[in-house]
Amino acid sequence: MRITPRQHQAILRAVREVFGDAATVRLFGSRAHDHLRGGDLDLYVTLPNAEPQAAAHASRLAARICLLLGDELPIDVVVRAANTPLQAIHLEAEKGILL
């Protein structure tokens, strides 16, 4: 996993602030693999309940992480709430590392 302890803590803090304690987050994509280089932060947030504003909250989460880290690291957030139809990206993201 290619994130620092500081990034790890910032991600967890931001997810709790935006989505609450019931949310889980996984790191997937290139940063989940030690042998790869570069890449953005690909985060997969799962929610046990329906979330009608998941897209808006995903943007808010990315902004919050940027503020906590103080850098320009690109961040992609995929959210799967109880009311979100299963898509191929969700299946791939579920293979990621639970933070």
- What is the value of pTM for the model shown? 0.92
**Would you state the structure tokens that stand for residue 61, as one six-digit string?**
């989460």
| Long-range Cβ contact pairs of 3-10 (< 8 A, separation 24 or more) | 3/27, 3/31, 3/41, 6/69, 7/41, 7/69, 8/99, 10/65, 10/68, 10/69
**Would you state the structure tokens that stand for residue 6, as one six-digit string?**
């500081």
Q: Is residue 42 scored above 80 in pLDDT? A: yes
Report the SS3 class of residue 53.
coil
Domains of the chain, earliest start first? 5-98 (3.30.460.10)
Report pLDDT for 47. 96
Report pLDDT for 43. 97
Mean pLDDT, rounded, for 1-30: 94
**Distance between the two ends of the chain, CA-based, in angstroms?**
10
Q: Is residue 96 scored above 90 in pLDDT? A: yes
Confidence of residue 81 (pLDDT cuts 50, 70, 90): very high
